[in-house]
Amino acid sequence: MPPSLRTRLRPLLVLAATGLFLPFLPAAPARAQTPSAAPGLEQQVLFKAAQDPGYACFRIPAVVRTTDGTLLAFAEGRVLNCGDAADIDIVLKRSTDGGRTWGPLHVVSEGAGDTHGNPAPVVDRDTGRIWLAETYNTGRTDGAGCRVPCDRTPHLQYSDDDGETWSAPRDLSPEILPADWNSWYATGPVHGVQLTHGRYAGRLVLGVNTETWDGTRVTANHAALVVSDDHGGHWRIGATDTWPVAADGTFRQKPSELTLAERADGSVLVSGREQDGTDLGHRTQAVSRDGGTSFTGPFRALPDLYTPQVQGSMLRLGDRLLLACPGDPDRRRTMMIRSSYDGGRTWDGVDRGTVVTTDWSGYSDLVRVGSTTVGLLYEGGAVDARDEIRFARFTEDWLALRRA
């Protein structure tokens, strides 16, 4: 595609070199194509190459609700192909009516040949500022992954006008990238949380996962939280769980792509993707009782909560915790909402989960839309989980009832 056409199709980038804010042009909201849905569930296609020209593929959804009630849906807009390490932009669509209609696509961070991805937004309810953590690496022109060791670095942007405009990205490496986290580094990708209880109320918390490279191979995986106590002005590394990788490449667990929820007692539940270890086929989980400063113990696998190797998302809905992820243990399909009523100690099995779709499905993020309404932004497709990114709306009444 000619560069001039790509420019026309990507309105109003933030000028990172100058730090200027540029306004987005207003446009009439449009309802996207709607896939079939069960009674009580509304769904529509939000990002898809065929309806958003200039991109070959969209992946890695994340969504938050601002203090003004606007929904901000982020994704990776992959320009050349669906590979993880090519020319990738972070893109955004906004909804001011609870996800019923959405405005046009805008670019928040342009890769310009490199990879700008792993969106991890968090809303500061005290200031109204929306923070967006993200990770960069040198781009490729083929569909292959980032060469190990991967030159991944964390960055941060913010918006003070409900997602209309965004600051220039700021490199967070001096604050949350120690020297030995020198290979893979990933922010989120999923929304972060602001704590509301006790002495840590107001703290912003995001999840990251990283790897250590010794010059010849990856020797350790780190699942960690990063926190800010000054409304996003400064960040530091908090709770960290490190798992060594043996010389033969084997390891017990490799928790990654962390999703967080503040429990009713103020503790933080952290749920992770289990990647390539000996505890495959289900989620792995840890808890912090000091606002994300430390974990009470290492991540542990939940044998009854099985999923494929995939990112998932959590949301607290009153006394109920929701987890969105595919329910097939081997393949990315059958997006499902499962519930916990005891702070994540136990979860509904697949027999009690509520099915969103039986299609292929992958990454997701959950958002509170209203007092009883929940939104789910997720990858789905009839042929491939990467076909499109959909937005689903449902109420708690639509979910399966609690087992007696």
**Tokens matching residue 143:** 């569909």
pLDDT in tens, 175-184: 999 999 999 9
- Predicted confidence (pLDDT) at residue 15 exceeds the cutoff of 50: no
Mean pLDDT of 362-380: 96
Question: What confidence score (pLDDT) does residue 400 get?
Answer: 85
Label residue 226 left, alpha or beta by phi (over 0 means left) and psi (-120 to 50 means alpha): beta
Question: What confidence score (pLDDT) does residue 36 get?
Answer: 58
Q: pTM for the whole thing?
A: 0.91
pLDDT in tens, 49-96: 999 999 999 999 999 999 999 999 999 999 999 999 999 999 999 999
Question: What confidence score (pLDDT) does residue 277 get?
Answer: 65
pLDDT band, very low/low/confident/very high, at 170 (cuts 50, 70, 90): very high
pLDDT in tens, 184-234: 999 999 999 999 999 999 999 999 999 999 999 999 999 999 999 999 999
Question: What confidence score (pLDDT) does residue 28 get?
Answer: 39
* Of the listed ranges 10-19, 47-56, 230-239, 334-343, the one predicted with least confidence: 10-19
Share of the chain above pLDDT 70, in %: 89
String of DSSP letters for 204-231: EEEEEEEEEE-SSSEEEEEEEEEEESST
Residue with tokens 């696509």: 105
Give, in order, the Cα–Cα distances in Å from 229 to each of 233, 234, 293: 8, 8, 11
Distance CA 108, CA 276 (A): 33
Question: What confidence score (pLDDT) does residue 403 get?
Answer: 75
pLDDT in tens, 130-155: 999 999 999 999 999 999 999 999 99
Contacts (Cβ under 8 Å, ≥6 apart) of 3? none
Strand 170-171 with 115-123, pairing: unpaired
Give, in order, the Cα–Cα distances in Å from 34 to each of 8, 238, 283, 392: 27, 42, 31, 10
Total number of residues shown for the chain = 404
Distance CA 21, CA 204 (A): 24
Mean pLDDT of 287-298: 98
* Of the listed ranges 1-15, 63-77, 337-351, 372-386, the one predicted with least confidence: 1-15
Mean pLDDT of 226-250: 95
- The per-residue pLDDT of the chain, averaged, comes to 90
Which of 316, 347, 351, 323 lies closest to 337 in space, CA to CA? 323
Mean pLDDT of 251-276: 92
Question: What confidence score (pLDDT) does residue 7 get?
Answer: 37
Higher pLDDT, 254 or 58: 58
